[in-house]
Structure 1
Amino acid sequence: MERPVNEYIDLLQTLMAPLLGTPEALEISPVEREGALALNVRVHPDDTGRVIGKGGAGIDSLRRLVEFAARRAGDVVSIDLQDG
């Protein structure tokens, strides 16, 4: 990892906060595997639809933005939205 993991967590929190009705329920757990970083995300069940968005557009946009930032730093980062 070229950038500290906390930078990716902070970026994702900043991007997601305006989408959430219950931002205090946001949990992001980093998991390193095979040279890549996975950010496992849990939100309040009422916020899941807002994060996913119509046709998955919301979560896809979040993934693209974080993956772009990671690629520029030479890192590989993915976002996994967990049931919760």
Structure 2
Amino acid sequence: MKALIENIVVPLVDYPEAIHVTEKEEENKIVYHLEVHADDVGKVIGKNGRIAKAVRTVVYAAGMKSNKRIYLDIM
């Protein structure tokens, strides 16, 4: 799942080397924390959060195979 998130975000940003995805697994959920360069935060979130919502939708759909809820936090 980390690779999927990185593959989606890399074309959007100016500093792809600053992308870090961490995973925190709990009993009934998996939380992914996406960190990008400060200049790229707006590009990843998009106007009115549209890009962030689209990325989350793809990640949630890919995570449907597991019985855990998937969350994506953009930091």
Equivalent residue, structure 2, for 1:22: 15
Offset of residue 35 of structure 1: 1.9
**Aligned counterpart, 1:5:** none
Aligned with 2:25: secondary structure? strand
Identify the match of residue 64 of structure 1 among 32, 40, 57. 57
Q: Deviation above 6 Å: which 4+ runs of structure 1?
A: none
In structure 2, runs of 5+ residues without a counterpart are: none
Residues 30-69 of structure 1 deviation map (CA, whole Å, 9 limit, x = unaligned): 0012321100111000000000000000110000000001
**Residues in 2 aligned to 1:14 and 1:35: alpha-carbon distance in whole angstroms:** 26
Are 1:42 and 2:25 matched, yes or no?
A: no
1:77 Cα deviation after fit: 1.4
**For 1:76 and 1:25, how far apart are their aligned partners in 2?**
27
Q: TM-score, normalising length from structure 2? A: 0.93
Structure 1 gaps, min length 5: 1-7
Match among 43, 47, 58 for residue 54 of structure 1: 47
Superposition TM-score, scaled by structure 1 size = 0.83
Which among 5, 8, 33 is matched to residue 12 of structure 1?
5
The alignment covers a number of residue pairs equal to 74
